[in-house]
Structures are given as C-alpha cells and as structure tokens.
Chains A and B, each alone.
Chain A
C-alpha cells in the first residue's frame, strides 16, 4: 500500500493503475469522435497514470506515426478541453499501432508481443483494457483470437485484462445470451464492461444522489403520491447514414431496450444497501424482473414511423425516403409503451416510456408526476390553472432539475397556478462537465463497474422487449409527421386514462 495515498485526500484524483488501452476498430467513427478525444481529455485533466499506452488495432498498413497523426487530428477536432501541445506530446510518445485483420493470427501475436514489451518500456505490469469498437458480427473472431493468444487471461498476463463492449448487446434475448456467453467464456464476468453512455451522464448519476441523499423525496416516491412517470428520449435527427443498422433494429431495440429501461430502473429501484456495484445491480435487476407488460400489447404500445416534414426550419425526408431504407419497411422510428412495476412501491403506477427520431427537439428527461391533492379547499375556478405537481430530471440538454408546483397569483383574488422552480447547471458547467465517455473510460481503467449494465440486466431487458417485438410482427407502424411529438396513437394511449404527455 502506497503511504502517499489516503482516502481523505480528495484533492488527488482517482488514477488507474499503469495500463494499456487497446482499441479495436480504431479507425471507426466512435473511436475518432469519442474515444480518442476522451483519452486526450483524461490526459489533460491529469487522470491517467504515469504508465499508460494506447494501442490501436485496425486493418490498415499504418505505422505508429501515421496512427498518431490520425489520433491527433481526431483529438484536436473533438476534445472538449483546451489543446495543450505538451499533453499531446506525452500521449503521442505512448501510442502504438498494430495493423491486421481480425482473422490474422500473426497480427494478434504481434499485439501480444507489443503488450509484453510495454511491461518494460512503460512499466505496465500486464494491465490492459480491450475496447471492441467493432460491429457485433466481428466479436466472435476477435474474442477467439484474444483467447488463443492468452491476452484475455488475467493470470497469464500478470495483471487485469478487461473488455469493453458497446451496444447493441444482441438483437433479442437469445442473441444477447449467446453474446454474453461468448464474452464471459473468454473473460471473467467481472472483467466485462458494457457501455451505455447514458449512464455516464452527470444528471443520470444525480438521479441517485437526488433520491438517496435526500429525505425530501423518498417519502413521496411511491404509489400513494405518484400518479405516473414519463420518460422521454427524443431526437430531432433522423437516422442519418445508419439505414442498414437502423432498419434491422428500430427504436425499440435501439433505445427502449437499453437507455429507456436503464432510466426506468434508476427511477424505480429500491435503495441499495451500499453504493457497491454489486448492490446497485441487485436492486436494478429486481426492478427489471418486476416490469409488467401491458395485458394487450397492441393497445398498450404505439409504434410510429416519420414521414416527410419540417424540423427546425428545414424540410426533411420521411423514413421511407431516407437513402438505404428498403421499400415498404415496417421498422419503427418511434415507440411509446405503458409499463407497470409489480411491487408494493409501484403497483398501479403506469410508467410511460417514449422515444423517437425527428421529434421537434432533442430532449431526454424523466418526469415524476404526482397525484393531485385529494381535496382542494378553493373555489373550483381559482384552481383551474393548477396541474399535477411534477419533479422533472432533465438529462439533456440544459441538465438540471425542475420542480413544478402551484403558487398563488399575486393579487387580491385567491388564484393558484403552476410555476416551475428550475435548477440547472450553468451553461459553463455543462461545457466543463466531463463527456460521458471520459467518465466511462476512466471507470473501466479503474475497474469501477457501477455505471455499466451487467449481463443479467441486459438479458432481463430483452425479456421485457422480446414479447413486444413478437406482438408487433406483421403490423405496420403509425405514420407521424417529422417535427411532431409522435403519432396520434401515443396521445390516445395516455388520454384513455385521462392523462397527457408532458410537453418536453
């Protein structure tokens, strides 16, 4: 134990042990736009250990210098912290490249030799994280190579070996399980980190602080006071160039299965006994197991597909007109579902989840809508403008918390109307708050799995989504105009119980 380390010393940053970050598919979009800039930002904030190396792996005939130049361009373009030449110089001196295709044994042997060499040159005692920034179809072959070369073996490496995988975690329960088995076979389950970048966001972590650090909210966080919960993940963008992937997936697989259900678990979970990753996972799993689907899936869910329309002052094509989308596709770009949670806390409280592309604006928020007061001792006309109290956690943009409650209109009459008390992290804070990937990459290197969904959670989420997918077989999504808040059916879904969507 290093005597210079002291848990009371909170000025010293959490720094990982000396380690290497190996990125497969380093020439891809994600690596360029997110990973390499995140590594630079971490270095700039002094959060990387003295012994640290980045190893890129891709099918290019590159040498270290070419790779470093490419990485520099990516980091310069997308880093959020100011550019400092000396920080880059330090990173650049520890960047390596291994060229080769995934089925090339010789390339992986070179990778193994390189990692062994880093032990001497960089003082890295066998610690390495493998980031699979590659299509899921390539997973098996890469994992097999890692197993063959012993790269995934903690014992053999003499340090930790971790693997990072990105969504999609399969496309249904069976494929997710297959993928999990495959990864767990090669790495020990504790060394597998699944990235859901929403969980790296400051406000999402704040949700746990809000709930479990305060006394104010816990007493009303149940079906006695909560009328319903609405979770919205809306994007104003279309599918862009991802037609191939998106048409096979759709909104339910792309967003509902991961982001929406993860947000749901954080809102609904019981208090974990400690903030230990294992304890948090236990509580999240319990919620996922308690999720109840609508009895009639056709009536309790809405699928939509955007049509040509106007978004943010620009005319945009409909989904079927997007390049690469097959004719007559029935893939949904919008989905709204009503879920229930079968436990004492939440019985009878509907959870409305919705996500869509080409919505009027980009917004992610969780709204807890409280019941109206059982009795209002006012003239009915005076409380006409009073709605339900709401607590809204805005994840993006304008990260913050809004509390909506009734307040007297100044004047001689006893009139009550809703006002919103708005807490938001300052504009500058938003800029200064770490990008989700920065936080998550650091957590992987430190080995903190709190913000990563576990295999069980992924499988349990598919148990929720699979029956929906099955019930939607052969149906057509409802059309909605680009730039509108989804199809009419979504409004009707809530109107049936006398509710309405919050205008996000």
Chain B
C-alpha cells in the first residue's frame, strides 16, 4: 500500500506501475471498475469502505482494477484543487488492484483527466455511482468513458423521481441496483409461474405489497407488466421495510401468492401445499458481482424501466453518450478573489 498526499495524476500512474512490479500483478484483469463515491459530510458510515468491501467480494469472480473517486457532494467546492491517492495492489482487496482517490476543488469536475490514464488497456470499463446518482450521466465524464453504468436510485433523496430521471436519461448499458435487488423475487415468481397451466395467460390481476416509494417494487411491477401485459396494483404497506408480497390471479382462476418473512418466502398456490423458500437479502458485494457478470445492455431492465415510469422508446436509445461539457460556476479567479 502506498499513500500519496497532494499529488498529481502522473505521479499516481507511475506509482501504480511501480506497485504492480513490486507487489505482483493481478493476473487476467476482466475489467476496470470506476466507483464514484459522494462524500457524506457528518455521516458516520464510510462509503469508501463499503465500496472496498463490495469490490473485494465481486473481484473474486471478476478480477478488476478498481478506481475509487471521492468527490465533494455537490460535484465541486471552493477549496483549492487537490488530489490525494492510495494505491493497493494485492493484499486486503483480494484479486483486485485499487487506486483510491480523493479529489477536491474544481479538479472534481475533471476527474477523468486523472482517471483515464489509469484505466487498464482494452478491457471493459464500468462506472458505478455509490451515492446519489447523477441527473445526467453525460455531464459526468466518468460516466461517458464507461460502457456499463450502474446507479442506485434508492440512495437519492427522492427515489421515485430519481427512477424517472434514469428513464429519461437512459442509454443502453445503464442499470440500477434497484433492479438487481429484485432478481431473487423475479426468480421465485418465474419458478412459481412455471407450474401454471397453458390457459393461465394473461393473468386477471396482480397485486404487489410494498412500502411507499419502494423503487424496486416499481421496477418489479414494470417487469410484470412488460412480460404479462397486466398492470399490477401497488398496495402500500407502510409497516414493511421492503417488498412484502406479490399475488397473481391467473386467467384460469388459480391463485399464486408469495409473501416474505425475513429471509424466507412462503409460496401459496391453489391446489398445492404451502411451501417455504429462501429469499435472501444480498450484500452490496453480491449485487455488484451480479451486475459485473454481464457487460452488454440489459434489455429486460430497459423494458421494465419503461413500463414502470411510462417513458417510452428506451430500447431505441443509442448506447454511446456524448459528453456535456461543464466548467462549473467557480473559475479560479472567483475562488481566489
């Protein structure tokens, strides 16, 4: 591990090369993962630690170069430009080599000038915002450089609005962790509906019980609507902490209901005995590992997002983004004045 205080981008590149020689290279890099972390002033949780832990878990499956960029919450602040970096090759992060950077001042708006030279040659680039997702990904150069972009709208102050913003801003290759979180539910539902007869489609009614403003429930509803053609009814359960139940009435009258109790789901299907199935809450690392498994656009997410937000035509959006240049209001002179 090497720490560089008040350093420059070239110094970081030099030190990473040296560390790779000294501490042994990670063999077979699968991708570069850029993690953008918003500082949470006054908060006791350490988002950088969460990112490191998650990357360590997912790197076991997807050996990667991890570039963590911490910036002030608003994108930039009025302090002088400054870059601090820590370089970890091998060691505590498992099969991943990491550069953890903290950027201050207007440098935060031009993080790409430091990050791009650090990206491993000719492997896919994934950018992950661990924090409030950006309004417009094209305005964040760290998003434009990536072929896959992962956001987490649940961390936004208004998750429902943020989800709609993701649909408006969608380009092929975007996904959101709110979608990843319901893979377990989707697998259960698909498994339960495997037992349905041929005359079951389309279902007569679908109800989803979830806490208000649960974005994962919205995406699940979007997915069911896109696949089954029946608009689900969302029933708000203020007491629940997460998605609580899904009930489907099939065209032939059979009822399928799945309810969650902690890490177990109970499946009730007309004419069958009640069954208990595991439905685990997964760690951030597991969610990230699932995301990194596929580096091509997730068309089913696009369809679900479109149905959930009512924004049409997502599947026709191009994958590439053109960067929207932003210098920021505070020029150097204003700062020093």
A3 touches B201 (CB 8 A): yes
Contact between chains at A4 and B280 (CB < 8 Å):
no
Q: Known: A46-B187, A123-B269. Is A89-B227 also a contact (CB below 8 A)?
A: no
Asked if B196 is an interface residue, CB under 8 A from chain A, the answer is yes
Asked if B335 is at the interface of the complex by the 8 Å CB criterion, the answer is no
Say whether A46 contacts B184, CB under 8 Å: yes
Cβ contact within 8 Å between B299 and A2 = no
| A120-B194 in contact (CB<8A) | no
Q: A46-B184, A86-B262 are in contact. Are A18 and B195 (CB under 8 A)?
A: yes
Are A426 and B277 closer than 8 Å at their CB atoms?
Answer: no
CA distance A422 to B26 in the complex (A): 10
A296-B267 Cα distance, complex, nearest whole Å: 66
Say if the beta carbon of A11 comes within 8 Å of chain B: yes
Asked if B194 contacts A49 (CB within 8 A), the reply is yes
Residue B327 at the chain A interface, CB threshold 8 Å? no
Chain A hits for B190, CB < 8 A: 2, 4-5, 12, 15
Q: Is A396 an interface residue (CB 8 A)?
A: no
> Quick one: given A12-B186, A429-B60, A429-B61, are A3 and B194 in contact (CB under 8 Å)?
no
* A18-52 interface bits toward B, Cβ cutoff 8 Å, 1 = contact, 0 = none: 10000000000000000000000001101001110
Q: Describe A's contact surface by its main secondary structure.
A: loop
In this complex, the member of A10, A11, A87 whose beta carbon has the largest number of chain B beta carbons within 10 angstroms is A11
Say if the beta carbon of B94 comes within 8 Å of chain A.
yes
Question: Does residue B263 face the partner (Cβ distance < 8 Å to A)?
Answer: yes
B13 at interface (Cβ–Cβ under 8 A)?
no
Query: Nearest residue in A to B183 (C-beta to C-beta)?
Result: A11
Given the interface contacts A6-B227, A50-B192, A427-B95, does A89 sit within 8 Å of B276 by beta carbon?
A: yes
Q: CB distance B300 to A50 under 8 Å? A: no
**Chain B positions 43-68 with a Cβ under 8 Å from a chain A Cβ:** 59-61, 63
For A121, what are the chain B residues with a Cβ–Cβ distance below 8 Å? 273
- Residue pair B228, A43 in contact (C-beta under 8 Å): no
Chain B 182-219: CB-based contact to A (< 8 A → 1; otherwise 0): 01101111111111100001000000000000000000
Most buried by B among A2, A6, A400: A2
> Is A314 part of the binding interface, using a Cβ–Cβ cutoff of 8 Å?
no
| Contact indicator B294/A10 (Cβ below 8 Å) | yes
B269 to chain A: which residues have CB within 8 Å? 123
Collect the chain B residues with CB atoms within 8 Å of residue A43's CB. 278
A120-B59 contact, Cβ under 8 Å, with A49-B191, A428-B94, A428-B95: no
> Does B272 make an interface contact (CB < 8 A)?
yes
B272, B273, B299: which has the most chain A beta carbons within 10 Å?
B272
B195 contact set on A, CB distance < 8 A:
18, 50-51, 123
Bound Cα distance from A422 to B277, whole angstroms: 42
Which residues between 257 and 290 of chain B lie within 8 Å of chain A, taking CB atoms?
262-264, 267, 269, 272-273, 275-278, 280, 290
Interface residues on B, range: 35 or more
Measured CB to CB, the closest approach of chain B to A392, in angstroms, equals 14
Residues of B within 8 A of A49 (CB): 191, 194
Report whether over half of chain B's contact residues are helix, strand or loop; otherwise say mixed. mixed
Check if B318 is an interface residue, CB within 8 A of chain A: no
In the complex, chain B residues whose CB is within 8 Å of the CB of A327:
none
Instruction: Tell me, in angstroms, the Cα distance from A424 to B63 when the chains sit together.
Output: 10
Chain B: minimal CB distance from A472 (Å): 43
**B293 interface residue per 8 A CB criterion:** yes
Task: Scan residues 10-59 of chain B and give those whose CB is less than 8 A from a CB of chain A.
Answer: 27-28, 59
Residue of A nearest to B192 (CB): A50
Chain A contacts for B227, CB-based, 8 A: 3-4, 6
Which of B60, B186, B275 is within 8 Å of A11, CB to CB? Answer: B186
Contact residue among B94, B264, B267 (Cβ-Cβ distance under 8 Å from A89):
B264
CB of A259 within 8 A of chain B?
A: no
Minimum distance in angstroms from A3 CB to a CB of chain B: 5
Tell whether, in the assembled complex, residue A90 and residue B28 are in contact, meaning their CB atoms are under 8 Å apart: no
Please report the C-alpha to C-alpha distance between residue A391 and residue B60 in the assembled complex, in whole angstroms. Answer: 24
Q: Does A122 contact B (CB under 8 A)?
A: yes
For the complex, give the distance between the alpha carbons of A50 and B263 in Å. Answer: 15
Interface string of A117-150 (1 = CB under 8 A from B): 0001111000000000000000000000000000
Residues from chain B with Cβ under 8 Å of A423 in the complex: 27-28
Instruction: Answer whether residue A344 sits at the interface, using C-beta atoms and an 8 A cutoff.
Output: no
Tell yes or no: A376 within 8 A of B by CB.
Answer: no
Q: Nearest CB to that of A432 among chain B residues?
A: B60
Other-chain residue from A5, A122, A426 in contact with B273 (beta carbon distance below 8 A)? A122
Residue in A closest to B188 when the chains form the complex, CB atoms: A50
Interface residue tally of chain A, by bracket? 35 or more
Among the interface residues A121, A123, A400, which one has the most CB atoms of the partner chain B within 10 A? A123
| Interface contact A50-B228, CB-CB below 8 Å | no
Encode contact with B along A74-105: 1 for CB under 8 Å, 0 otherwise.
00000000001011011001000000000000
Please pick, from B186, B276, B290, the residue contacting A4 in the complex, using a CB distance under 8 A.
B186
Chain B residue at minimal CB-CB distance from A87: B278
Enumerate chain A residues within 8 angstroms of B28, measured Cβ to Cβ: 423-425
A257 CB to closest chain B CB, in angstroms? 34
Does A240 make an interface contact (CB < 8 A)? no
Instruction: List, in ascending order, chain A residues with CB within 8 A of B27's CB.
Output: 400, 422-424
Do A51 and B290 contact each other (CB < 8 Å), given the known contacts A11-B186, A432-B61?
no
Q: State the Cβ distance, A64 to closest chain B Cβ, in Å.
A: 16
A84 contact set on B, CB distance < 8 A? 263, 278, 280
In the complex, what's the smallest C-beta–C-beta distance from B254 to chain A, in angstroms?
Answer: 12
Tell me if A17 counts as interface (CB < 8 A to partner B): yes
CB pair A86 B263 closer than 8 Å = yes
Whether the pair B264, A2 counts as a contact (CB closer than 8 A) is: no
A427: chain B residues within 8 A (beta carbon)? 94-95
Q: In the complex, what residues of B have CB within 8 A of residue A3's CB?
A: 201, 227-228
What is the 8 Å Cβ interface bit string for chain A, positions 397-440, against chain B (1 contact, 0 not)? Answer: 00010000000000000000000001111111101100000000
Q: How far is the CB of A348 from chain B (nearest CB, A)?
A: 34
Contacts of B180 in A (CB 8 A): 11
Given known A-B contacts A50-B188, A428-B95, A429-B61, A4 and B193 have beta carbons under 8 A apart: yes
Chain A residues with CB under 8 Å of B294's CB are 10-11
Report chain A residues within 8 Å CB of B280. 46, 84, 86-87
What residues of B have a CB within 8 angstroms of the CB of A6 in the complex? 227, 300
Residue in A5, A122, A424, A428 whose beta carbon sits within 8 Å of that of B275 in the complex = A122
**B188–A11 CB distance below 8 A:** no
Docked Cα-Cα span, A123 to B298, in Å, equals 33
Residues from chain B with Cβ under 8 Å of A8 in the complex: 299-300
In the complex where A422-B27, A423-B28 touch, is A2 in contact with B272 (Cβ < 8 A)?
no
17 residue pairs A–B, Cβ–Cβ below 8 Å: A2-B193, A3-B201, A3-B228, A4-B224, A9-B186, A11-B186, A11-B294, A12-B187, A15-B191, A50-B277, A51-B275, A86-B262, A90-B277, A122-B275, A123-B269, A426-B95, A429-B60
Known: A18-B194, A89-B264. 19 other contacts (CB 8 A): A4-B186, A4-B224, A4-B227, A8-B299, A11-B290, A15-B190, A43-B278, A50-B195, A51-B272, A86-B264, A86-B280, A90-B278, A93-B276, A423-B28, A424-B28, A425-B28, A427-B94, A429-B63, A432-B60
A residues contacting B by CB (< 8 A) are 2-6, 8-13, 15, 17-18, 43-44, 46, 49-51, 84, 86-87, 89-90, 93, 120-123, 400, 422-429, 431-432
Which 9 pairs show the lowest CB-CB distances between chains A and B?
A426-B95, A428-B60, A4-B190, A123-B272, A86-B263, A423-B28, A87-B278, A11-B183, A86-B264
